[in-house]
Structure 1
């Protein structure tokens, strides 16, 4: 994409044509150049036709030249916009069809269990972050296709599947301890594969296991809705992330115990199934010196 002061090739062709056509009258020729250039720059920032309608109708502008410029640029602009904000493969409607209303499944029951004092109940209580908040988290992270995303405590697989479907990351993993939830995650992933096409270079790995015992050392981005983790699991999370020299981000809903990982700050006002308000905080850490969070 051209920078803010560069004009695309089609624009340069229009300007050159205008100047040649009116070469005998240089002053009047320049009067053609500036309206066209202004319209093109406006189009670079606002590709919607309605946004430039007023400009095209201004007295003294050449409507014919400006409309020609707009016609030539309309196709490249549509491509640029699409590449900057690609449509999601699996949007809210898709996720809802696969997972149902997973944001609030027996939400009051979940909160009652979570706030009970039984460590065993807390460990097995189910809670998840909503698709909207997953998007909010991903917008703050810098990632590439080569990054490996792992969701620790992946539950029914909704976060892992959302990342697999809607980001360029080619390897996505989910590790879930409870067999029933893992089976649900496998079923959801299979349902997605039956109805959607995803690049063969991408893979989603769903593992039924203990986050302290499974190998996820290739991960560059680790996510965990860890509020239900006991102290043993949190200590494993800290230690294994500290040992991972490639770790770009650890995003966790429970603050780590004292750690050598560098804190990048917190992500606030996120929605989850265990809170009735958008008031949940996730902590973000890294093991690399030059990694940062993107601006909100």
Structure 2
């Protein structure tokens, strides 16, 4: 009898998670593409991140689910996505993995605005645990005492096109 009630609880939990994932897909759809930036934004991004760092792509929800499992994201974690774009992974970390808090750092003001707008328009209770900052992901002020990234426990960045110089700055901040 005990295993039957446990199985029933697991079914309820699966249904709740499925509903959350449906809501997450709606968030992703509402967030916009984030692929269009101004020439000035692109120049600023290249100045900070290197010659090709203005090229944009996003991890898929399925890809982030796998990443989150491999990172063992869980309640109690404070997750940061450095180069968060439209913020989809930041929101997903709270909804799917129940991270205590999540933070997205994005240099492109237009992508940051899409993330903030999507969060403001969304009715998910998780939005109280999500925040976005427009700025340099390796900036001293973000990593200093009292800075937005001070309490982060898990850091992720898709850094394939970041310059060696930016990665060195970031490594110094994280260490």
TM over 0.5: yes
Structure 2 equivalent of residue 226 of structure 1 = 159
Name the TM-score, length of structure 1 as normaliser. Answer: 0.46
Change (3 A) 1:93 1:148: closer
Q: Tell whether 2:92 aligns with 1:166.
A: no
Correspondence list, 1:198-209, <5 A: 198=126, 202-209=128-135
Give structure 2 stretches of 5+ with no counterpart.
37-48, 144-148
Structure with bigger RCO (C-alpha 8 Å, 6+ apart): 2
Name the TM-score, length of structure 2 as normaliser. Answer: 0.74
Q: Tell whether 2:30 aligns with 1:93.
A: no
Change (3 A) 1:217 1:197: closer
Change (3 A) 1:85 1:227: farther
RMSD between superposed Cα atoms in Å = 2.9
Aligned residue pair count: 156
Instruction: Please give the alpha-carbon distance, in whole angstroms, between the structure 2 residues aligned to 1:238 and 1:135.
Output: 25
Give the greater-gyration-radius structure (CA). Answer: 1
Q: Which structure is higher in helix share?
A: 2
Change (3 A) 1:184 1:133: same
Give structure 1 stretches of 5+ with no counterpart.
1-6, 9-43, 45-72, 107-118, 244-296
